[in-house]
Structure 1
Amino acid sequence: MSENENKLTPWQEKNLEYQRRKAAEKKLEEEKNTPKKSRFTSPFQKKEASATTSETNEAESSDEALSEEEVTSAPSASQEEIIFSKLEQTAEEVEELRKPRRSFFAGSGQVFKKLWPAFVIALLVFLGAVYAVSPLSKIGSFTVSGNKSETPEQVAVASQLKTGDSIFSILRNKELIATKIEKEFPRIASVNITFRFPNHFEAVVTEYSNSAYVKRNDKDYIVLSNGYVIPTPVDTSKLEKLPVLQDFSDEQVKLFVKASEKLKPELRALMTTVTKTPTDATPDFIAIDMSDGNQVRVPLSQMSEKLPYYPSIAKQIEAPQVVDMEASIYTKPKEAYQAYLSQLSSSKAAASSAKEKKTTESSTDTTEASTTTASE
């Protein structure tokens, strides 16, 4: 210890001890970490902003020496307090410069996470506004798919769409446009209007299939799968392999189509001609001629329940047979069945004639009795 250090006051000794401790801590920290450049302004000397770590150490050593000399020659306690205050300020500035500086973009990620939904909405609104005022917001094309009976031009006319119509108006009234097309063409079951960006529309058409024909006054008319009868007669030479209903009313046609649509396609394909054969017990009794030579007689109201049994029955019999399903199910050769029907018809005719004769005789007796009474 030097002579000057022996003359230090207790406060000066503490100050020197503080400076030595700070220097030791700084040296230990520099050994652990990569040296960093520091920028600060010392109250005793100025350094350039780009000074290196070694220059900073020399400045601090110079400051310590100067501080020790000033403290040694300090004439009073007030000067000591000033020196101590400046040393503390210098230490605080050094510590502040050692702290990593906060970047301008620090924390911007959190801000962006909060604001991005609003940014996206604003962008979409802007693009929508631009699209709404551009020519792309008007209908560009209208196509038709799925149509077999009506042409695309006919469907387009029925839709009542025009060049220059706003796509927003079309999107709002898609169901109304589809309804107009469906009402215009009975063959069309449904229409689905689809939109393809930027301004293209397509009408996807689903049509009813042909289910049967009905013969009226020697003319054939198509019956759709919904039971609707097309009022325009068709050429018999172009008929599909569909059952022909003989003189069925519109209501009976709908009942037959509704029942036949529940049957398997292979069973429907066997039916050729359907005739009404009502009986006293079954007014809706019908006879269905099959392509395999057999004939099935079944109530129209029970056709969808009883006719599915026919394929298994047909495997057990040899055509031509009549499969009667009026009450129970039994089979009989066609000739025998026709003879039975003729006999039954003759019996009914005889019974009807006898009944009429009896009614006539009864009426005559009543008339004669009335005449005798009047004469008396």
Structure 2
Amino acid sequence: MVLKKRIRISKNSLIFLIVFIIIIIAYFGSPLSKVRNINVDGVNDLGAQQVINATKIDDHSVLLNVMLHHKSISQETQKKLPSIKSISIKTKNLRDITVQVKEYSTSGFIYKNGYYYRIISGGQVINQKISSPIGNYPVYSGFGTKRLKEMSNLYSKLPSNVKTNVSEFYNAPTKLNPYRIKIDMNDGNKVIADMRTVNSKLKYYPGMAAQMKKKGVIDLEIGAYSYPFKDNK
């Protein structure tokens, strides 16, 4: 003989359960359950709104849902914005969201088929179309994959006062020197150099440029000398 136990729910417990359900329904139906503010910290080259758009979090998002799925939201955001090295999503004041971002450092851009593509540390090219370069970074022209990686790594090691003056790197090899490059500077000068020695020599650029009476070429390929542009003569 099987004895059946009756589960008795007291009147107070039933009232509490009903009230609890009502509160839950009311909460999720009220503005209190929605994200109020979204703050983005740690962005350098990316825009805060660009990151927010990629997360798809807005003031209609339910905060609890965001926090339950924060890992998948972070993963999807990194897929959309591959220049993000790491991202975390945290809540504050039970209403606000903070998106903490860490980006890969930018080494410049390459131009291809009408668009620019970001080059991050290590020479990796991010497959994300950009209509125009962002920030004060150089453009690389004519470099193959291996040379692009080498050149971007060399750029990252330059003194900051030189890096900010570099406008564009050109791969310009000759039969005599396959490592020859040309550099357009933001101040209007041009530089001829050798990839193997450019870092040790280009650090002297500010001093050499200051001594030039006219804009021209600073040749660092073999020695170190300068001459004005022909049009300035």
Q: Same fold (TM over 0.5)?
A: yes
Q: Secondary structure at the match of 2:111?
A: strand
Q: CA deviation at 1:286?
A: 0.5
Counterpart of 1:152 (choices 52, 56, 59) is 52
Is the 2:91–2:97 Cα contact (8 Å) retained in structure 1? yes
- Taking the TM superposition and a 5 Å limit, the aligned residue runs for 1:121-160 are 141=35, 143-146=38-41, 148=47, 150-156=50-56
Query: C-alpha distance in 2, partners of 1:315/1:166?
Result: 55
Q: Secondary structure at the match of 1:222?
A: strand
Matching residue of 2:88? 192
Matching residue of 1:115? none
| Higher strand content, 1 or 2 | 2
Which structure ranks higher in relative contact order (CA pairs < 8 Å, sequence separation ≥ 6)?
2
Counting aligned pairs with the same residue, the percent is 24
Q: Deviations over 1:259-305 (max 9, x none)?
A: 22333443223223322221345322211122333321222344333
The answer to whether the aligner puts 1:222 opposite 2:117 as a matched pair is yes
Is the 1:190–1:207 Cα contact (8 Å) retained in structure 2? yes
Is the 2:110–2:117 Cα contact (8 Å) retained in structure 1? yes
Query: C-alpha distance in 2, partners of 1:216/1:200?
Result: 40
Matching residue of 2:161? 266
Supply the AA of the counterpart residue of 1:206: K
TM-score normalised over the length of structure 1: 0.40
Q: CA deviation at 1:163?
A: 6.2
Matching residue of 1:243? 138
Supply the AA of the counterpart residue of 1:215: Y
Supply the AA of the counterpart residue of 1:155: T
Q: CA deviation at 1:235?
A: 4.1
Q: Deviations over 1:12-66 (max 9, x none)?
A: xxxxxxxxxxxxxxxxxxxxxxxxxxxxxxxxxxxxxxxxxxxxxxxxxxxxxxx
Counterpart of 2:149 (choices 246, 254, 264) is 254
Q: Deviations over 1:63-91 (max 9, x none)?
A: xxxxxxxxxxxxxxxxxxxxxxxxxxxxx
Compared with structure 1, are the counterparts of its residues 184 and 326 closer, same or farther at alpha carbon in structure 2 (3 Å cutoff)? same
Question: How many equivalent residue pairs?
Answer: 191
Query: C-alpha distance in 1, partners of 2:39/2:101?
Result: 7
The answer to whether the aligner puts 1:306 opposite 2:182 as a matched pair is no
Q: CA deviation at 1:310?
A: 0.9
Counterpart of 1:319 (choices 201, 206, 214) is 214
Query: Unpaired segments of 5 or more residues in structure 1?
Result: 1-133, 336-376
Supply the AA of the counterpart residue of 2:117: I
Q: CA deviation at 1:195?
A: 4.4
| Higher helix content, 1 or 2 | 1
Q: Deviations over 1:348-370 (max 9, x none)?
A: xxxxxxxxxxxxxxxxxxxxxxx
Compared with structure 1, are the counterparts of its residues 333 and 207 closer, same or farther at alpha carbon in structure 2 (3 Å cutoff)? same
Q: CA deviation at 1:145?
A: 1.0
Compared with structure 1, are the counterparts of its residues 202 and 275 closer, same or farther at alpha carbon in structure 2 (3 Å cutoff)? same
RMSD, aligned CA? 3.9
Q: Deviations over 1:133-163 (max 9, x none)?
A: x979xx9748351361625242147xxx976
The answer to whether the aligner puts 1:212 opposite 2:108 as a matched pair is yes
Query: C-alpha distance in 1, partners of 2:81/2:161?
Result: 29
Q: Deviations over 1:229-255 (max 9, x none)?
A: 35455446x876543322323433333
Query: C-alpha distance in 2, partners of 1:144/1:251?
Result: 39
The answer to whether the aligner puts 1:283 opposite 2:178 as a matched pair is yes
